[in-house]
Every structure is written in C-alpha cells, then in structure tokens.
Amino acid sequence: MTNPLYDALFKPHENAQTTFLILPDQTRWTHDQFLRRSAQFAHVLTSAGLRPGSRLAVQVQKSPQALALYAACVAAGVIFLPLNSGYTATEIDYFIENSGAEMMLCDGAAYENLAPLAAKYKAELLVLNADGAGSFSERADDQPDRFDICPRTADDLAAFLYTSGTTGRSKGAMLSQNNLLSNAQTLAEHWQFSKSDVLLHALPIFHTHGLFVATNICLLTGCAMRFYPTFDRSALIRDMPSSTALMGVPTFYIRLLDDPQFDQKAAQNMRLFISGSAPLLAETHKQFEQRTGHRILERYGMTETNMITSNPYSGARRAGTVGHPLPGIEVKITDPKTGKTLPQGEIGMIEVRGPNVFQGYWKMPEKTAAELREDGFFITGDLGQVDEEGYFQIVGRDKDLIISGGFNIYPKEIEAALDDLAGVLETAVIGVPHPDFGETVVAVVVAEPDVDLSHDDLAGEMQEKLAKFKLPRAYKIVPELPRNTMGKVQKAALRRQYSGLFESVPKE
C-alpha cells in the first residue's frame, strides 16, 4: 500500500539537493535537509505513541521546522491540526477537548499557560520555538533521519482545520489526503507552476492558503519558496527580482502599493500575483496594474474546500469576480430555501462538489448533514451570482444578508456603490436591529488619506445610486476596519459594536 500524499509531495525530493526554502537571511534548506528533519520529527511522534489517525495540535510560530511537522504527520499518518498563533488558552481548550489531540506543540513562551490544559486532557505538551529549538527538537536530534512511511489511502484523513467560529462553536473540517492532493494538482496546472518558479511565501501556515495551497503546489512542482516569518514589505520588494510568484491577501497588495519602491522595475521578473481569503477592491486591481503592468489573479476558496474557482491564468482577469470553477469542480447557485438551481444572473447560495470538498465536521454529524448534501454538494454559506460568461461574483455571506422591512438587501451592492465615491477607500455594510424594520443598514466607511467624509456627504451622493430601502440609515467613519489574520473584515465584530445604534429610535 502507498501513501498518496507523501508519494506525490515528498518522495520525489528524497536525497535531492535542490533548494526548497530560502529564509530572509538567505539561509537555504534543501529538499533533502527538510525531509531528513521531518523524518526525525516523525520518529518522535510515533515513539510518543501517536498512531495513524491520532491528532497532533500545533500552535507555533512559522518556521521551516513548523512546516516539517506537516511532512512528519503525512509520513506517520498522524492528522495535522494547525492552530492560529493568536488563539488564547481558553480558545485552545476547546480545540484540544474537541479534537482529542494526544500531543500538542507550542512556543516556549506559551508553555506555562498551556501546561494545565494539556494535563487536563492528558495530552503531552512539547516546545518548538521559532528558531527551531525546544524540547521537541531535542528529542528529534537523536532520532534516525529516515522513516518508514506509513501506508495510507486517498480517503484517509490528513488534517483538521477549524473554522473561525464567528457564528458559534468552531467546526473541525476533516480533510482527506485526496482533498489536499487533488486541489494542489489542479492549481499547479491551472496557474502553470513549474520547478523554475520561486514563490514569495509570507502567509501564515495555520491556514489553508499558506499551508495547503502555497506549500503543496511548491512541493508538487519542485519549486522553491522564499519563506518569511510574517509579511515584510521591504523584504518582499527586495527579493522580488529573483522570484516569480506571490500568493497573498488584499492587505499585502495595498501595503505594497503604499511603498514608492514597488514599481514596474521591481516586479519585472514576476509572472503571477494571486490574491484570496478576502475580497480585493476594484481600485486596488486598477492601481496595481497601472503601477506594475500586472493584473492580480483573484480566486475563491474555503477551509472546507480549499480552492473552488479562479480567474484564468491566460485570459481576462475580471476585478470584482473570482473567475470560473476550477477543472473537475462543479459550482452552482441555488435558492437558499429550496436548494433548487437558479437561473444565470440571479443571486443565491453557492454550492460546490468535487474531490476538493471535505469529509465533514469532526464530531458534528448534525452540522455535517445540514451543510453537506447527500449528493456531495457542500452548501458554502456564501451568496453569489454568475454572469453570462461564467464568471462568479461573491455577494456576501448568507448570514450577512440584511432583511429590512421584508426586503432582501445584499451588502456587496451597497459596498460597491460606496467604494465608487470619491474619497472612499473601503467599506463594510452591516445590518443592525431596528424597532420598526427588524433590521436596517449601517455603512462603516474608511476614508482615503487626508480626506474628510461626513454622514451628510455620503447620504447625499448615495441617494442617486440606490433604491430608498437599500440606503444606509447611518454612516460611521472609522480609521480602519477590523480584520482577522487573513485580512477578512470581521463583520460580526462590527454588528456587535453597532447593535444598539437604533435602540431608542421610535417606530415609524
């Protein structure tokens, strides 16, 4: 029996002296060096009693050693559970209890806080610091640098990724070997990656974007990664002339454009800029193309599915859209109430089916049944529409839909109208409780630098753009929008902040 994920991503690089990772100080890790260290890590896992199907919870800083843990888990058949480095001990308590992780790795600075939690669930707690040192590495140092790969099938689980939990308890998405491998194979071909590429990797590796998209593509094709602990604008610009691709979130591109050193010359060796995890403003698309001559390729994916759609590599990359379904993946727009497929152009629920779709939520059969249909289609919770040329547009989350006085209002439409106004940098439109209409619209607006915006100015201009029932009843001017680590605007936080805005308003 084979181990499909290991055989495709790692086995071809055994003994290879080719460059895999380039660190900011220009230190290089070869594929062989990386795999020898991951083999030692795999021995530590198995000697500690972890077996195929056991869970390893990891909350450590980004480093080559942290990435080697992923390879070690694939080799040993252990389910890899990466956790956001910003999670508190209280949040981690739930993940350890829910996942049943038998071992946990953390940064040394977090050890004292997490030790009682590990003892509570009888999970062994070891340290792996950002520099690669710690009790876990010390155990690994004495282990062999070769490991007998554990046989697995394409349907065996490779990883758990927990959703953000903005509307309740986080859900552990179970991802199989084939979920990860099939998506990497599709993306590598669709985005035309090859061993001659050098990817600028500044994303975190506790999320599907940086871990299963960026890393798996590079391993599959044999290309190198410039591996940064965090986003470093100066370092990216410095290294861009010797690189070919960047995967990022919208914040990356906004910050690059803020630096006058980032220009067409800096980007002349690059062939591809990819953006995802959050919507990219049309204005950012425009400014980026004017500055560099490159058009950003925007794509769409989720924790439960990896990548679903992508703008074309060769062809029109349309701002405001996430392109077409990737090869082998079916995407449809359905009526959220009936599940029936809607005609082209109508707004509805995005559903997806394909080898990329996860296996369900760990220990949550009811949630799995509610969101994963018997015919294999996953109900994403995202609202969207598709145009006459097959390009998909994300309108917003189903939970973000505003129902005011019986009318359905889609925040994306209002945000687009606001973003077109002079002086507006970006916006987030939310629904908040209203005594008369049930919900009403509030626009949270960020102005461009050195621009003064007022409620009256915005209200006056918007009256000409939208039907009256869609118009915001309040405009809140703020210095910035709250975002998570992947750059997504946290609308749940905004709804909480402004939930009492109309409590004292009399009924109309």
How would you write 430-474 as a 3-class SS string? EEEEECCCEEEEEEEEEECCCCCCCHHHHHHHHCCCCCHHHCCCE
Give the pLDDT of residue 486: 67
Tell me how crowded residue 230 is: count the other CB atoms within 10 A of its CB.
10
pLDDT per residue as tens, the chain (508 positions): 699 999 999 999 999 999 999 999 999 999 999 999 999 999 999 999 999 999 999 999 999 999 999 999 999 999 999 998 888 888 899 999 999 999 999 999 999 999 999 999 999 999 999 999 999 999 999 999 999 999 999 999 999 999 865 445 789 999 999 999 999 999 999 999 999 999 999 999 998 999 999 999 999 999 999 999 999 999 999 999 999 999 998 889 989 999 999 999 999 999 999 998 877 878 889 999 999 999 999 999 999 999 999 999 999 999 989 999 999 999 999 999 899 999 999 999 999 999 999 999 999 999 999 999 999 999 999 999 999 999 999 887 777 778 787 677 878 888 888 988 999 999 999 988 887 677 899 999 999 998 999 888 899 989 888 878 889 999 999 999 998 776 788 888 899 999 888 876 655 5
Tell me how crowded residue 482 is: count the other CB atoms within 10 A of its CB.
15
Within its chain, how far is the Cα of 154 from the centroid?
Answer: 23
Residue 347's φ and ψ, nearest 5 degrees, are -85, 135
Q: Encoding tokens for residue 315?
A: 């062809």
- Burial of 338 per CB tally in 10 Å (0-12, 13-18, 19+): exposed
Three-state SS string over 11-43 comes to HHHCCCCCEEEECCCCCEEEHHHHHHHHHHHHH
- Rounded Cα–Cα distance for residues 147 and 134 (Å): 21
Give which of 239, 206, 177, 185 is closest to 22, Cα–Cα. Answer: 239
- Rounded Cα–Cα distance for residues 299 and 311 (Å): 6
Give the pLDDT of residue 139: 98
Give the pLDDT of residue 167: 45
CA distances from 333 to 10, 300, 356, 379, 414 (A): 37, 15, 18, 10, 21
What DSSP letter does each residue of 58-116 carry, written as one string?
Answer: EE----HHHHHHHHHHHHHTPEEEE--TT--HHHHHHHHHHHT-SEEEE-GGGHHHHHH
The reply to whether 30-152 and 401-497 are identical in fold is no
Three-state SS string over 331-395 comes to EEEECCCCCCECCCCCCEEEEEECCCCCCCECCCHHHHHHHECCCCCEEEEEEEEECCCCCEEEE
Give the pLDDT of residue 502: 87
Tally helices (H) and strands (E) across the chain.
16, 24
CATH superfamily of domain region 401-497:
ANL, C-terminal domain (3.30.300.30)
- Rounded Cα–Cα distance for residues 42 and 469 (Å): 59
Amino acid, res. 499: S
Which helix (DSSP H) or strand (DSSP E) does residue 246 occupy?
strand 245-248
CA distances from 316 to 295, 297, 310, 416, 482 (A): 9, 10, 11, 21, 32
Which helix (DSSP H) or strand (DSSP E) does residue 417 occupy?
helix 411-419
Give the pLDDT of residue 506: 54
Give the pLDDT of residue 282: 82
Beta strands 438-447 and 474-477 are: parallel
Give the pLDDT of residue 463: 87
Within its chain, how far is the Cα of 167 from the centroid?
Answer: 18
- Burial of 271 per CB tally in 10 Å (0-12, 13-18, 19+): middle
Give the pLDDT of residue 168: 58
Is the separation of the CB atoms in 403 and 331 below 8 Å? no
Tell me the domain boundaries of the chain.
30-152, 401-497
What's the CATH fold of domain 30-152?
Answer: Rossmann fold (3.40.50)
